[in-house]
């Protein structure tokens, strides 16, 4: 008879693979043998991005932050079907991050080139007359910083590994190469530079009706999994708990939202080792085998 922990791990595995099915992206993680990709087995990025709870909660944190930038949000508002296919959007973002992290250099650059071509088509005008375009270097930097911040803070909060001194700076310094390949400029490469970037950009941010609508859609998202509402609330709350203080104020989150986020954060933190046990055969271990490394390296620092 399976143990309680084994049963829980099996349930979590079923949940994750229902929401984010494997083998449908067309990305090859197994060839060519020996190709380290953009980062490789000695990188901080391979370790940070291998932690599912941190990545999903951090990605949701990034989405909440992104709703505050009117120009960045305009592209989503005018050129996507976020109201009816937010799950698809999350899956496509997941595939891009996983592919640029763990696939070969050729596969990673194919993904970057594909996204860059899409960005070239996304442009328009705001209601106030300002023009926007998705390939604007400043907007690309904003999106990248929100995502890398969310992923790193998710790892900090929910991974059983503790970040050693200097690891945060090393991570930011590594991951900016993807943003720069997409066309971002002046991308922060240290934790202090990320904090300075957020301080500098806050004057451009606001919570408006478009922001509220996207946040409402996000709050009602239903992943194709058992207990969809409970699963959503857990990860959205855990992502909310990662927001910087200035974003909590800008998003006007009250005591109820903050308390719910704190409870979700504690719950996910307690469950994170089970997620690791349930998902020990994903694209990170496949990339390790491609370069001849033991997948257990992802559970310790280089």
**Angle at 137 (CA atoms; ends 136, 141), nearest 5 degrees:** 120
pLDDT above 60 (res 281): yes
**Distance of alpha carbon 212 from the chain centroid:** 21
Ordered by start, the domain boundaries in the chain are 36-205+212-275
Those residues with Cβ within 8 angstroms of residue 31's Cβ, 6 or more apart along the chain or in another chain:
104, 290
Query: In angstroms, rounded to a whole number, what is the distance separating the alpha carbons of residues 270 and 138?
Result: 38
Rounded to 10°, the helix 52-66/70-79 angle is 100
Please state, for a pLDDT cut of 70, what percent of the chain lies above it: 96
Nearest CA-CA partner of 252 in 220, 214, 216, 207: 207
Nearest CA-CA partner of 137 in 180, 175, 178, 96: 180
- Confidence at residue 226, expressed as pLDDT on a 0 to 100 scale: 56
Query: In angstroms, rounded to a whole number, what is the distance separating the alpha carbons of residues 279 and 291?
Result: 20
Query: In angstroms, rounded to a whole number, what is the distance separating the alpha carbons of residues 220 and 89?
Result: 15
* Distance in Å from the first CA to the final CA of the chain: 38
**Is the Cα torsion angle 64, 70, 75, 80 positive or negative in sign?**
positive
pLDDT above 60 (res 2): no
pLDDT above 80 (res 8): no
The tokens for 28 are: 């090859």
Please provide the average confidence, as pLDDT, over all residues in the chain: 92
Q: What is the mean pLDDT of residues 89-107?
A: 95
For the chain, state the CA radius of gyration. Answer: 19
pLDDT above 80 (res 10): no
Q: What is the mean pLDDT of residues 41-60?
A: 96
Query: In angstroms, rounded to a whole number, what is the distance separating the alpha carbons of residues 236 and 89?
Result: 16
Residue in the block written with tokens 């996507």: 80
pLDDT above 70 (res 224): no
- Confidence at residue 90, expressed as pLDDT on a 0 to 100 scale: 86
Residue in the block written with tokens 């945060």: 168
- Which of 1-10, 139-148, 212-221 is modeled with the greatest confidence? 139-148
* Whole-structure pTM value: 0.93
With contact defined as beta carbons under 8 Å apart, do 232 and 223 qualify? yes
- Confidence at residue 1, expressed as pLDDT on a 0 to 100 scale: 41
With contact defined as beta carbons under 8 Å apart, do 40 and 104 qualify? no
């Amino acid at each position: 008879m399976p143990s309680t922990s084994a049963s829980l791990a099996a349930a979590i595995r079923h949940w994750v693979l229902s929401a984010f099915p494997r083998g449908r992206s067309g990305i090859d993680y197994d060839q060519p043998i020996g190709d380290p990709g953009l980062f490789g087995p000695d990188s901080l990025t391979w370790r940070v991005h291998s932690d599912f709870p941190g990545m999903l909660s951090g990605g949701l944190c990034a989405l909440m932050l992104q709703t505050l930038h009117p120009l960045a949000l305009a592209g989503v508002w005018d050129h996507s079907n976020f109201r009816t296919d937010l799950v698809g959007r999350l899956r496509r973002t997941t595939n891009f991050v996983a592919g640029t992290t763990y696939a070969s250099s050729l596969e990673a650059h194919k993904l970057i080139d594909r996204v860059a071509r899409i960005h070239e088509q996304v442009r328009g005008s705001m209601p106030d007359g300002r023009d926007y375009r998705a390939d604007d270097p400043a907007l690309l930097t904003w999106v990248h910083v929100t995502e890398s911040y969310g992923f790193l803070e998710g790892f900090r909060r929910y991974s059983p590994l503790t970040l050693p001194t200097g690891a945060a700076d090393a991570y930011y310094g590594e991951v900016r190469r993807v943003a720069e390949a997409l066309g971002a400029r002046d991308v922060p490469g240290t934790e202090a530079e990320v904090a300075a970037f957020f301080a500098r950009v806050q004057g451009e941010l606001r919570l408006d009706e478009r922001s509220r609508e996207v946040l409402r859609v996000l709050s009602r998202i239903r992943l194709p999994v058992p207990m969809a509402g409970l699963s959503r609330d857990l990860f959205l709350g855990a992502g909310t708990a990662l927001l910087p203080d200035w974003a909590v104020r800008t998003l006007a989150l009250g005591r109820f939202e903050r308390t719910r986020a704190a409870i979700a954060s504690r719950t996910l933190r307690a469950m994170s080792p089970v997620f690791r046990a349930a998902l020990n055969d994903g694209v990170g271990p496949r990339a390790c085998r491609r370069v001849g490394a033991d997948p257990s390296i992802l559970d310790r620092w280089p």
